Structure 1
Amino acid sequence: MLIDVQNLSKSYASKPAAQNVSFSAKAGSIIGLLGSNGAGKSTIMRMLVGSLTPDAGQAFINGYDIVTQRRQAQHQLGYLPESALGFNNLSVREFLTFTAESRGFSEPQKRTLIDNVIDQLDLGDVRHKLLGTLSKGWRQRSWLGQALLHNPPVLILDEPTDGLDPNQKAQLREKLKYLGQTKTILMSTHILEEAENMCERLVVMRDSQLVADGPTAQFLDQNGRLESAIHALTATNTDQPAKTDNKAGS
């Protein structure tokens, strides 16, 4: 398994953010991480990428422990944070160059990796434009480029299409589905059509706990449609239903 999560737990000021969460993901699959705001999705992702240390439990990225082998684990993954911002005064190519230098690649390696990512994500027309001048769709694609730069086997994507217009969403989804043929992708999303159309499996969280984990088809079969099943699993007295594209205001 390229992602193996075993009873991960994390609390903030004694308030649980993730409690004994366990799941795994094999190579060449897209896994959807679903749940209402505050359910613990981002906490799980931040622990997996090494920016948070678990209070308990273990997790492995391509066999490397995220705590005791953090650097090796981080080399196995690429991370797209939610609402990726910053580096507005760098061009797309400068941003990718900075990323490559941060990862310690040599000059010839940098050029090859950057050119590959620019071609792979069709960034050629914007490669010399400043990130701060780009639409959110192009910024997201540029940040996906930094996640892909070192060709990792695992991608962890936090709300990758949030805030994009319909055309931008469609384009990015197609890129991710193509990448998911060979890479393991763990992505959080509030858009249920996205989960239904892209994800092989769903991991569902509510109130810091995992409440369901299984093939996407399993959720469709249980309640006839994905929205009904996921809302039944995630809703609390204060929750709102997970978004669908026609309600997302995109």
Structure 2
Amino acid sequence: MSQARQKWYGHRCLCLRKLVECFTLGYHHGMGVKGKKSIVVLCGGDSPEREVSLRSGRGVYSALLERGWDVELLEIEGYDGLPKKLAPYHVVFDIIHGGPGEDGTLQLLLDLLGKPYVGSGPLASALAMDKYEAKRLFAAKGIPSPRCVLIEADRVSEALERALTDLDPPFVVKPRAQGSSVALHFAKDRDELAEAVGEVAAGYGDVLVEEFIPGRELTAGLLEDGQGPMVLPILE
């Protein structure tokens, strides 16, 4: 695991531990828990982030067990028959990373099923998973982020020239809608940029090319626990 992914995973674990603490205090999406409920920790899925999801899910499952909750672990490989699998449980603790588990699809399904769940709702999940749309929202609120060029998978050549014109090297290349640093590339020049964009477009669709900003990398997680936003400790 690369150093960047290790840092990301460490921060993710911290966020999940805090989320478990909030849950045990009785707060989660759509329902105030006042007593023990039958909980299912849902993890796995079929995205490139499956292995990260499995590790996270098992960690959350163990933490909830230690706190005395009635909880089961459900590791899935796909989504066929999922409503039936979730039927016995009161609350879903969704730890699926990437794909339908994180882009609002699963959240919408759970809303339609009337299942309370941990985490953001369908719209917030969809917007957060789409890096380009998230950056547009940040800009609308006056929150700066690295300059970028969106390269649609079927218009690579044209957009690649725009990236070379609008941005200065080095470049950061990533899928438009993946997490966990999946398929993240750094490119120093035109040739490396073209190679990275082609690889990401072939495997993941639309590509985001950003300017590289050197310096310290700080991460601040944010949770809402029923009493307002709560900022987690800042990590470097």
Same fold (TM over 0.5): no
Q: TM-score, normalised by structure 1?
A: 0.29
* Larger relative contact order, structure 1 or 2 (CA cutoff 8 Å, min sep 6): 1
Q: TM-score, normalised by structure 2?
A: 0.30
- The structure with more radius of gyration: 2
The structure carrying a bigger strand percent of its residues is 1
